[in-house]
Amino acid sequence: MSKCDLCELRDYTQRYCEFSYPFKFTILDCDSCDTPMAVLGEHRREATADEKKLMVEVLSVVAGAKWGPDGFFIDDVMRQIPDHCHIHARRIWRMR
Ligand SMILES: [Zn+2]
Ligand SMILES: [Zn+2]
């Protein structure tokens, strides 16, 4: 099985939570984007619809606590590591 940076999550960013049931995933700060992301615990390109739903839900709670319910959006485009499922929460910057 191939390994990537998301399989070997480094310890130097903020971790918010780790799930082991009903499946493994971790919510932590992305070290390149400096924003919370959900990372599937297995090296797979696609999460199932149920897996994705739970990851987005938990990630939304974490991001909502940081930036408020309207302060972020969910970004599931995998730019840097396209073969390991991960989802970013990105801050919405508003001009005042
Ligand atoms: Zn990132
Ligand atoms: Zn991986």
Domain locations along the chain: 15-91
C-alpha of residue 4 to centroid of ligand 2, in Å = 4
Per-residue pLDDT, averaged over 73-88, amounts to 95
Q: What is the pLDDT of residue 68?
A: 96
Q: What is the pLDDT of residue 84?
A: 96
Per-residue pLDDT, averaged over 47-70, amounts to 97
Please provide the DSSP assignment of the chain as one string: ----TTTS--SSSPEEEEE-SSS-EEEEE-TTT-SEEEEESS--S---HHHHHHHHHHHHHHHHHHH-TTSEEEE----S-TTS-EEEEEEPP---
Q: What is the pLDDT of residue 96?
A: 64
C-alpha of residue 30 to centroid of ligand 1, in Å = 5
Per-residue pLDDT, averaged over 73-96, amounts to 92
Q: Which ligand is nearest to the CA of 13?
A: 1
Interval 2-51: pLDDT, tens: 689 999 987 779 999 999 999 999 999 998 999 999 999 999 999 999 99
C-alpha of residue 51 to centroid of ligand 1, in Å = 20
